[in-house]
């Protein structure tokens, strides 16, 4: 009986302790709730922030590798294009050299034959000599004709001048101006290789040789005489 009583007392104490703890819990419920909420918030925030940092790092890494792969791809492509351009330029230059040598060989062998060109140059030299000789002959002929024309004009002018100087020629008794007895024969003036005295006599003979009057001359003389008589 004593044992049951003790058990009963223990049960009552346990029940009282339970309600005491329950009341204590109810008293600090909201305080603990807010504390637990803060702890959960901090824990969840740290957990999500850790996940966020991890995801961010992963995304940055993925982007870095992706961009690097794209950049390497563009670089490789650009390098390939540059190499192709360099090869094209190199082979084009080599092709130009080959074509230049081949065209030079072909032209020297089939188009511009050395011996044919040499013969052609000899022919040109011969033709040039002929043309130069013809030009020299034409030049000499032109100069000679010009000198002859000038000499003819000079003779005409001299004859025109000598026509009015017949009074300066010599007579049987009086020597002329250009035929002075005090002047040596070689010092006497001459024109066109002939002494001036001879020119004056020849001009006088040509201009003053007597000619028989014509009917026209007689009629003109009669007309002049009638005019003079009428005055």
String of b and e for 90-115 (b: at least 16 CB within 10 Å)? eeeeeeeeeeeeeeeeeeeeeeeeee
Q: What is the pLDDT of residue 20?
A: 75
Cβ–Cβ under 8 Å, residues 169 and 201: yes
Q: What is the pLDDT of residue 150?
A: 78
Mean pLDDT of 193-218: 61
Q: Express each pLDDT in 116-164 by its tens digit.
A: 778 888 898 989 999 989 898 888 888 888 888 877 776 666 666 655 5
Report whether pLDDT(230) > 70. no
Q: What is the pLDDT of residue 30?
A: 83
User: Which has the minimum average pLDDT: 65-69, 189-193, 213-217?
Assistant: 189-193
Q: What is the pLDDT of residue 91?
A: 94
Residue 193 backbone zone (phi > 0: left; psi -120 to 50: alpha; other: beta): left
- Confidence tier at 200 by pLDDT (50, 70, 90): low
Q: How far is CA 47 from CA 35, 51, 52, 79, 217, in A?
A: 18, 6, 9, 47, 156
Q: Express each pLDDT in 14-63 by its tens digit.
A: 777 777 777 777 777 888 888 889 999 999 999 899 999 999 999 999 99
Residue 163 neighbours by CB distance under 10 Å: 14
Cβ–Cβ under 8 Å, residues 149 and 176: no
What's the CA gap between 197 and 183, in Å, rounded?
Answer: 13
Report whether pLDDT(205) > 80. no
Report whether pLDDT(169) > 70. no
Residue 6 backbone zone (phi > 0: left; psi -120 to 50: alpha; other: beta): alpha
């Amino acid at each position: 009986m004593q044992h049951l009583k003790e058990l009963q007392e223990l049960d009552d104490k346990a029940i009282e302790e339970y309600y005491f703890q329950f009341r204590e819990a109810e008293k600090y419920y909201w305080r603990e709730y807010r504390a637990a909420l803060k702890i959960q918030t901090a824990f969840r925030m740290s957990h999500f922030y850790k996940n966020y940092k991890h995801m961010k790092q992963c995304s940055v890494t993925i982007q870095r590798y992706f961009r690097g792969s794209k950049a390497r791809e563009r670089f490789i492509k650009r390098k390939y294009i540059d190499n192709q351009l360099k090869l094209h330029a190199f082979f084009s230059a080599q092709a130009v050299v080959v074509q230049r040598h081949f065209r030079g060989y072909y032209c020297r062998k089939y188009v511009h034959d050395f011996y044919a060109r040499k013969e052609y140059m000899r022919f040109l030299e011969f033709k040039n000599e002929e043309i130069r000789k013809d030009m020299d002959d034409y030049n000499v002929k032109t100069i000679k004709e010009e000198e002859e024309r000038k000499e003819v004009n000079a003779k005409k002018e001299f004859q025109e001048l000598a026509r009015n100087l017949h009074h300066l020629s010599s007579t049987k008794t009086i020597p002329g101006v250009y035929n002075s007895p005090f002047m040596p024969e070689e010092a006497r003036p001459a024109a066109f290789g002939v002494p001036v005295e001879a020119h004056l006599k020849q001009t006088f003979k040509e201009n003053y040789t007597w000619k028989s009057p014509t009917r026209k001359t007689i009629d003109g003389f009669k007309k002049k005489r009638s005019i003079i008589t009428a005055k």
